[in-house]
Amino acid sequence: MRPSTEFNLIVIGAGAGGMTAALIAAVLGMKVLLVEGSDKIGGTMAYSSGTAWIPGSQHQAEPDASEDAARALGYLDALVGDLADRKLREAFIANGPKMIAFLQANTSVRFQAYSYHPDYRQELPGAASGGRPLDPLHFDGRLLGNKFDVIRWPMPELTLPGGMMVTRGEAARLLNGLTSWDSIKLGITLLSRLASDRLHYKRGTRLVLGNALAARLYKSLLDQKVTIILNGRITRLIKTSGTVRGVVLAQNNTETSIFACQGVILAGGGFAANREWREHYLPKPTAQYTPAYDGCNGETIKLALAAGGIIGPAASDNALWFPCSIAQRKDGSTAVYPHIVLDRAKPGLIAVNSMGRRFTNEAASYHDFAHAMYATNQEGQSIPAALICDRRFLWKYGLGMIWPHSLSVKRYIQNGYLQADHSLNGLAAKIGVDANNLAQTVKTYNKFSKTGKDTEFGKGEDIYNRNNGDPLHQPNPCIGPIASAPYYSVRVFPLPVATSLGLKTDENANVLDESSQPIEGLYACGNDMNSAFGGQYPGGGSQIGLAMTFAYIAATHAKHRQPLQR
């Protein structure tokens, strides 16, 4: 790329926010450069469900979209309060549906409403039972041709052998095994497709979840002929007379100055993968791992700080959390498995601290569950916590990296991921918890399973809890007995899937300086931007919904800026 190269807009980071910003700008007629620091696109989005939380979108059937937007703002007001500037969530509510409509009309990005996926804080006014989370439609990776391998692979622990991806609903259908013709037919269809794919590709090309969204955005960028640079590093922003005018790109041992006449958008994904910053900004004990993409290291935030930007006001803990279990893969790499919805809410599992006592509602959202781990850690050492279940639970629902109906769990016991014993006392000794307390905790919990009432933490009492439980289990889909030896345990840690502390911005996604004035030509979205939700987690897909919406806001605002002259 010649030093004189000029673009209307430069976007740094090819995750949900960055690709959306670049795509929208290109559709609006801007000449766009997208720079990604790795050799793959997708960021943390590629590992995720790909869900976007967008109240009031055109995909929402009930309630009426405009009515739901007002209710959702009330919900956010109750949840966020003074933790973030209200103008930011107003901008999110107003522009989220516009972003979805724009992509639907002009690109290959397609969503469908998750009709029954309750918001996480059902006790708050304005919480919905569904419709707000939008799931990306399946995508055929073969449409990318020789660009297919540019999509970041999903977590291997969340794919079936051979690299086959399935949705949560498909996984539930497959678990019916040979007892259901629907399950058999789906299995045959998926395996036939995988067999065909593996003749030509390293993994299955039927993409779902975050991989599908990443691929749809990437295909649309290619259709728009957006210039994409992989393995490129931006060393600094070019700023003169108070205005950001471009970037310095380092690639192949050379540096190139690139002019951006209408702006630069930062979308590097925050700093969850930066160990030093985690130590400085996140609560103690500091998380040693993260399920986030390792390129989320704060480098784009540093660029803005050097150009006069500032970090926004801190929230309670500055991150968005998953409870995760840790294991070493056969190749020596570390597997970080998020316990999101597949096991904690199912009947027959409890989480205990080192004292052998429950400390929270196990069916709470992953973010709130991790919060409870930190909140109770000093009094009962809840970090790590132990998930406890029995033989029947493990066979029916699985536990963490262990799939349901696994014929053998020997390797998980041998590598230390899973602890097992034929008595609760023996299990307590192996996992280092008080044996008497654990026995009493299980006894009490088993009484709850008969009545269906958790009088300690209310597990299974709201629709979010019950949605992730087992609907066929009564009287409470989230509470069942722990009584069939052997007993099992996996340790979980609260780990940041993303950071909510980022650059201070206004409602137009402009990065602000220490005087709270916009730095001309500089924008931020996604986790590079201080959270418009104040570090709170309203519902499934909140991060991607925020990232894509403020990417839309940034790109459309940049479009209407007067182009700079060189």
Full 3-state SS string of 469-498: CCCCCCCCCCCCCCCCCCEEEEEEEEEEEE
Q: Which residue has the higher pLDDT, 8 or 379?
A: 8
CA distance 442 to 475: 18
Q: Is 130 helix (H, G, I), strand (E, B) or coil?
A: coil
With beta carbons less than 8 A apart as the criterion, state whether 235 and 250 touch.
yes
Concatenated DSSP letters of 313-329: PP-SSSEEEEEEEEEE-
**Domain chopping of the chain, boundaries:** 6-137+210-270+500-559, 160-202, 320-496
| Residue 127, CA distances (Å) to 266, 309, 370, 459 in order | 31, 35, 21, 18
Q: What is the mean pLDDT of residues 160-169?
A: 78
| pLDDT beyond 80 at 557 | yes
Backbone phi, psi, residue 440, to 5°: -70, -40
* Confidence (pLDDT) at 182: 76
> DSSP class of residue 167?
-
How many angstroms separate the first and last alpha carbons of the chain?
A: 17
Please name every residue paired with 322 in a beta bridge, in sequence order, or none if there are none.
495
Residue 384: CA count within 13 A, CB half-sphere: 19
Q: Which residues contact 352 (CB under 8 A, 6 or more apart)?
A: 358, 359, 385, 386, 388, 433, 438, 441
| Residue 505, CA distances (Å) to 11, 249, 282 in order | 16, 24, 21
Q: Which residue has the higher pLDDT, 387 or 59?
A: 387
* Confidence (pLDDT) at 435: 97
CA distance 467 to 223: 39
Fold that domain 6-137+210-270+500-559 belongs to in CATH: FAD/NAD(P)-binding domain (3.50.50)
ω into 161 cis (within 30 of 0): no
* Confidence (pLDDT) at 198: 87
Mean pLDDT of the chain: 94
- Which residue in this structure is represented by tokens 């990604």? 36
The amino acid that residue 131 corresponds to is: G
* Confidence (pLDDT) at 30: 97
CA distance 419 to 58: 48
Q: Do domains 6-137+210-270+500-559 and 320-496 have the same CATH topology?
A: no
Backbone phi, psi, residue 206, to 5°: -85, 105
| pLDDT beyond 60 at 1 | no
Q: What is the mean pLDDT of residues 321-342?
A: 93
Q: What is the mean pLDDT of residues 420-436?
A: 97
User: Which CATH class, in words, describes the domain spanning 320-496?
Assistant: alpha beta
How is the chain split among helix, strand and coil, in percent rounded to 5? 35, 20, 45
Concatenated DSSP letters of 251-296: ETTEEEEEEESS-EEE----STT-HHHHHHHSPSSPPS--SS-TT-
> DSSP class of residue 517?
-
- Which residue in this structure is represented by tokens 């044996």? 435
Give me 339's structure tokens. Answer: 């316990």
* Confidence (pLDDT) at 170: 77
| pLDDT beyond 80 at 5 | no
Q: Note the pLDDT tens digit of each residue in 446-457.
A: 999 999 999 999
pLDDT-based confidence at residue 305 (cuts at 50, 70, 90): very high
CA distance 321 to 497: 6
Q: Note the pLDDT tens digit of each residue in 253-303.
A: 899 999 999 999 999 999 999 999 999 999 999 999 999 999 999 999 999
* Confidence (pLDDT) at 157: 85
Flag the least confident range among 111-115, 278-282, 395-399.
Answer: 111-115
| pLDDT beyond 80 at 425 | yes
Q: Note the pLDDT tens digit of each residue in 455-502.
A: 999 999 999 999 999 999 999 999 999 999 999 999 999 999 999 999
* Confidence (pLDDT) at 177: 63
Q: What is the mean pLDDT of residues 169-188?
A: 75
Flag the least confident range among 194-203, 281-290, 422-431.
Answer: 194-203
The amino acid that residue 489 corresponds to is: S
Dihedral (CA of 349, 353, 358, 360) sign: negative
* Confidence (pLDDT) at 331: 87
| pLDDT beyond 90 at 360 | yes
Output b/e per residue, 433-442; b: 16+ Cβ within 10 A.
bbeebbeebb
H/E stretch holding 337? strand 334-338
* Confidence (pLDDT) at 64: 67
Q: Is 78 helix (H, G, I), strand (E, B) or coil?
A: helix
